[in-house]
Amino acid sequence: MTDEALWYRRFGPPIDALTLEAAELGARPPGTVRVRMITAPINPSDLIPITGAYGHRVRPPQVAGYEGVGQVVEADHVSAHLVGRRALPLRGPGTWRRYVDCDPSWLVEVPDDLETSVAARAYINPLAALRMLETWPVEGRRVVLTAGGSSCARLLGRWALEAGAREVVVVCRSVSHAASLAELGLIPLSMAEPHAIAAAASRADVAFDAVGGPLAEALLAVMPRTSDFVSYGLLSGESFQPIPTGPKLQRFHLRDRLGTVKPLEWQGWFRKLWPMLRRASLPEARSYPLSDWRQAITAFDEPGRRFKPMLALDDAR
């Protein structure tokens, strides 16, 4: 049987650095569970490491992709009950491939009623949003979010309202997101409205920022000293200068929470997420065959995109 995987063997722009490689599917290492992949999303969190931005800890050669869903097709006797189940093979080798062999401790079973395209996106953004809201509770607080059109910001914003936030302002680069964000009860602002952004930031209690650069500096310049500024991404590719008299600067990286979590607590996080994901509003999933991965990445780069490109990993069967 043949496996296919999207490898990067050097750093570079993903469209240049990735190659689709076929190889004979080897024997499953003892103790692992083999998952035949169905689909995986394309997230900034998957693409940024390929560029070398985290070169100090993520080095090629690697199969790309951190999340996705599949069906368990092979397991040892102790994990035999998992065969046939849909599951997330997480925290192992890359997921942008046909088959993933995964440590069963980190494998997450998917509830039967959860849509496959939602399950495929249940890890990186939902878990980051959940952990951030647990670390910086928002009840009764005014919240500002950046990268407002992103999946992560939509989850953060909606779940912040459910957790009792007083208001949630979302700053977007593209106005194409405004209507759908307003439907969620969020207050959309364009990055091209600096005065409105400054007004919202000056009364904010907490900001969750995934953009960095000048936008982060504009928020930091006016946020109250007692507020929290949580940096969790640098989509602009630019860093920012903290302001000594400004808000408390916090950084969030999901990976920092993963180093110490034990399997029981890990599984508990997902039990908490399932009901939240059932009522979540994720962007439409748009599926691309694995062989069309270049089109998927090109679509990912479209400014104002209102869908999540997904790789169909079962299209060859």
Ligand X SMILES: NC(=O)c1ccc[n+]([C@@H]2O[C@H](COP(=O)([O-])OP(=O)(O)OC[C@H]3O[C@@H](n4cnc5c(N)ncnc54)[C@H](OP(=O)(O)O)[C@@H]3O)[C@@H](O)[C@H]2O)c1
Task: Give the interface with ligand X as residue ranges (CB under 6 A).
Answer: 43-45, 124-125, 128, 147, 149-152, 173-174, 177, 210-211, 232-233, 235-236, 252-254, 303-305, 308
Q: How far apart are CA 169 and CA 206, in angstroms?
A: 11
**142 sits in which H/E element:** strand 142-145
The least distance separating ligand X from the CB of residue 281, rounded to whole angstroms, comes to: 12
Q: Which is nearer to ligand X, 72 or 147 (CB)?
A: 147
Nearer to ligand X, 76 or 302 (CB): 302
Distances (CA, A) of 141 to 156, 163, 213, 228: 14, 10, 25, 11
Considering beta carbons, is residue 47 or 75 the nearer one to ligand X?
47
Shortest reach from residue 61's CB to ligand X, in Å: 22
The amino acid occupying position 258 is L
- Least Å distance, CB 179 to ligand X, is 13
Query: Which residues are CB-neighbours of 47 under 8 A, at least 6 positions away?
Result: 14, 64, 297, 300
CB of 253 to ligand X, least distance (A): 5
Residue 261 Ramachandran class (φ > 0 left, ψ -120 to 50 alpha, else beta): beta
For the CB of residue 37, give the shortest distance to ligand X in the complex, in Å: 19
Give the residue at shortest CB distance from ligand X: 233
- Shortest CA distance to 123 belongs to which of 67, 43, 72, 85? 67
Q: Report the residue number, 64 or 72, with the smaller CB distance to ligand X.
A: 64
Residue 143 phi/psi, 5° resolution?
Answer: -120, 140
Q: Between residues 25 and 218, which has the closer beta carbon with respect to ligand X?
A: 218
